[in-house]
């Protein structure tokens, strides 16, 4: 069988992206997609586990079970919408929900209960994609550059793929050179957190609130001085490093909230543009995917900073921008089933290419 469901629930903690992908030649071809919002209690529990607190093991196990039920619901809805039965699906590739990412200390934690997910769906599950790369000395992230290379590399064009999720990550696809990829820093994570804190909204629609303020030069400079931005790849990050506690240490009492939001948008745009300039050179095109592609002000600012380089969403290259990561985890699961490597050592810094993921039979 060549049909695989990919599930992605990212740093933004908004919900589950599900994509059904056909890998029969010439594949991959996306047959359908579905998005399931996290219930408030699931999102709250995931946010609370981002920082150390009491009874973590019990709370993490309960959340993993709840996530499995949410993932199963997304799979069932996707199959119903596309007219497929569980026995037609080769596997579900499930990334899980990251609550800790500490590759420097040899571990990463993506909450999930893949055995329960297999039981609930009646479909084999491939999960725990990052651990094998970390065991081989890598960062365990980002993993999607291998898929980006398969989907977006162009023989006559130097491209960079930018995923604007909670964290921004880059894939450098330069003709004749090894694929490189890394997390450049915050994408939507801080923008969303600040908007929720001050507006009670999950995100700043279209960047409208940010556009009502003005970047605070002192604040932007202070945030960009953080040592992560100047560190060379391979590197990866998450909420462990970039969070509201990190931000508020730099915010002055008289800074206007909308100006802070404008500063965070500038932080994302400038850190991405600088990372491309420092580590990728001068691409012809930047292809953007992830939720941040809908932030019109952010996309416009990126184009200003990139000059003559074209900043486009990945739809222009044949992959819908909202679903690239879910399709990527279907691709990684398919690679695992075939016994083929899913990582790129040139991206993660691992000792070599490895088959990623653990398989849980139906």
End-to-end CA distance of the chain: 14
| DSSP symbol at 117 | H
Cis peptide before 146 (omega within 30 of 0): no
Residue given tokens 């200003």 in the structure block? 304
Element (H, E) at 98: strand 97-102
DSSP 51: S
Predicted confidence (pLDDT) per residue in 275-317, tens digit: 999 999 999 999 999 999 999 999 999 999 999 999 999 999 9
What percentage of the chain carries pLDDT values higher than 90?
96
Q: Tell me the C-alpha distance between 168 and 295, whole Å.
A: 14
* Rg, the chain, Cα only: 19
* pLDDT tens column, 105-161: 999 999 999 999 999 999 999 999 999 999 999 999 999 999 999 999 999 999 999
- At residue 162, the pLDDT reads 98
Do the bridges between strand 107-111 and strand 97-102 make them parallel or antiparallel, or are there none, so unpaired? antiparallel
State the average pLDDT over residues 84-98. Answer: 97
Helix, strand, coil percent values for the chain (each to nearest 5): 45, 20, 35
Mean pLDDT, residues 236-253 taken together: 95
Cβ partners under 8 Å of residue 176, min gap 6: none
pLDDT at 1: 67
3-state DSSP assignment of residue 216: coil
Mean pLDDT over residues 250-272, rounded?
98
Q: Kindly state the average pLDDT of the residues 171-185.
A: 96
**Omega of the bond leading into 142 within 30 degrees of 0 (cis):** yes
**Helix extents (H) in the chain:** 40-48, 56-82, 114-121, 130-135, 145-152, 189-199, 208-211, 217-224, 227-230, 244-248, 257-279, 296-306, 324-337, 345-348
- Sorted by where each starts, the structural domains of the chain and their CATH numbers stand as 3-140+324-360 (3.30.420.40), 145-317 (3.30.420.40)
Torsion sign, CA atoms 185, 47, 64, 320: negative
On average, the pLDDT of the chain sits at 96
Using alpha carbons only, give the angle 39, 41, 45 rounded to the nearest 5 degrees.
Answer: 125
150: left (phi over 0), alpha (psi -120 to 50) or beta: alpha
Token pair for residue 253? 């009492």
| CA-based nearest residue to 314, from 163, 143, 178 | 163
* Furthest C-alpha separation in the chain: 60
């Amino acid at each position: 069988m060549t049909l695989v469901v990919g599930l992605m629930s990212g740093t933004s903690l908004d919900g589950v992206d599900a994509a059904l992908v056909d890998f029969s030649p010439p594949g991959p071809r996306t047959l359908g997609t579905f998005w399931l919002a996290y219930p408030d209690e699931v999102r709250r529990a995931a946010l609370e586990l981002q920082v150390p607190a009491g009874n973590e093991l019990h709370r993490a196990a309960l959340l993993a079970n709840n996530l499995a039920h949410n993932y199963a619901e997304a799979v069932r809805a996707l199959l119903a919408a596309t007219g497929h039965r569980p026995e037609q699906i080769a596997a579900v590739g499930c990334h899980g929900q990251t609550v800790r990412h500490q590759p420097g200390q040899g571990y990463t934690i993506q909450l999930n209960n893949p055995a329960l997910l297999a039981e609930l769906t009646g479909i084999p599950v491939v999960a725990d994609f990052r651990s094998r790369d970390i065991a081989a000395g890598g960062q365990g992230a980002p993993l999607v550059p291998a898929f980006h290379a398969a989907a977006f590399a162009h023989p006559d064009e130097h491209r960079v793929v930018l995923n604007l999720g909670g964290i921004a990550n880059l894939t450098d696809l330069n003709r004749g050179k090894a694929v490189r990829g890394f997390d450049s820093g915050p994408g939507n994570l801080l923008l969303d957190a600040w908007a929720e804190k001050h507006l009670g909204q999950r995100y700043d629609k279209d960047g409208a609130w940010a556009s009502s303020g003005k970047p605070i030069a002192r604040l932007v400079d202070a945030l960009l001085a953080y040592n992560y931005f100047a560190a060379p790849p391979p590197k990866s990050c998450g909420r462990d490093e970039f969070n509201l506690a990190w931000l508020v240490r730099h915010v002055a009492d008289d800074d206007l909230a909308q100006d802070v939001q404008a500063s965070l948008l500038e932080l994302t745009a400038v850190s991405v543009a600088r990372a491309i300039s420092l580590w990728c050179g001068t691409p012809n095109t930047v292809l953007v995917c992830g939720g941040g592609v809908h932030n019109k002000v952010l996309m416009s600012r990126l184009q200003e900073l990139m000059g003559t380089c074209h900043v486009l969403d990945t739809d222009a290259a044949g992959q819908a921008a909202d679903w690239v990561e879910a399709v990527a985890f279907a691709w990684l699961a398919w690679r695992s089933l075939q016994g083929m490597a899913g990582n790129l050592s040139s991206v993660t810094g691992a000792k070599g290419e490895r088959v990623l993921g653990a398989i849980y039979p139906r």
